[in-house]
């Protein structure tokens, strides 16, 4: 059973910090910052393939290089926490610009976090591909 995180707790603040740093990493294209948020033992099956930290890093680098600028905003964020695990649900708007112009991507994300060695880290990234809509249609609704 999951419980909604109440406002102002230390756990709340730590989870929000991870989510804020994730946004900052994408906007600044900072792969090193992003990787500090990923669990060292990250392992996710996606489309029949096992994704680990190395693949997550590669995907991040390839995707952010597509754009000159990225600006990310989140709405309707809800966090459910059960002990050392948390689920984050949020709507995400990604405004991007490249040499062809500007686009806006709209996503619904679910991100799983766990507290490992006293620190909240991402153990499952969003199944939404932030950049699929951009590459295949330039606008994802």
87-97 pLDDT, tens digit each: 999 999 999 99
Q: To the nearest whole number, what is the mean pLDDT of the chain?
A: 86
Q: Is the pLDDT of residue 43 over 90?
A: yes
Give pLDDT, residue 130. Answer: 60
Asked if 104 contacts 93 with a C-beta cutoff of 8 angstroms, the reply is yes
- Mean pLDDT, residues 2-9 taken together: 52
Residue 56 has pLDDT above 70, yes or no: yes
pLDDT confidence tier of residue 137, bands split at 50, 70 and 90:
very low
Residues 46-69, mean pLDDT to the nearest whole number: 90
Q: How far is CA 40 from CA 11, 48, 72, 82, 123, in A?
A: 20, 21, 25, 21, 9
Q: Contact at 8 Å (CB) between 84 and 106? A: no
Domains of the chain: 3-135 (3.10.450.50)
């Amino acid at each position: 059973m999951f419980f909604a995180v109440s406002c102002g707790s230390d756990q709340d603040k730590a989870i929000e910090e991870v989510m804020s740093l994730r946004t900052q990493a994408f906007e600044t294209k900072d792969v090193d910052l992003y990787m500090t948020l990923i669990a060292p033992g990250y392992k996710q099956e996606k489309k029949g393939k096992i994704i680990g930290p190395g693949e997550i890093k590669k995907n991040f680098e390839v995707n952010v290089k597509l754009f000159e600028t990225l600006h990310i905003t989140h709405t309707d964020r809800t966090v459910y926490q059960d002990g050392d695990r948390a689920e984050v649900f949020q709507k995400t708007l990604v405004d991007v610009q490249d040499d062809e112009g500007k686009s806006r991507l709209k996503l619904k994300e679910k991100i799983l976090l766990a507290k490992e060695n006293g620190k909240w880290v991402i153990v499952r990234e969003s199944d939404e591909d932030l950049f699929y809509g951009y590459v295949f249609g330039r606008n994802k609704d």
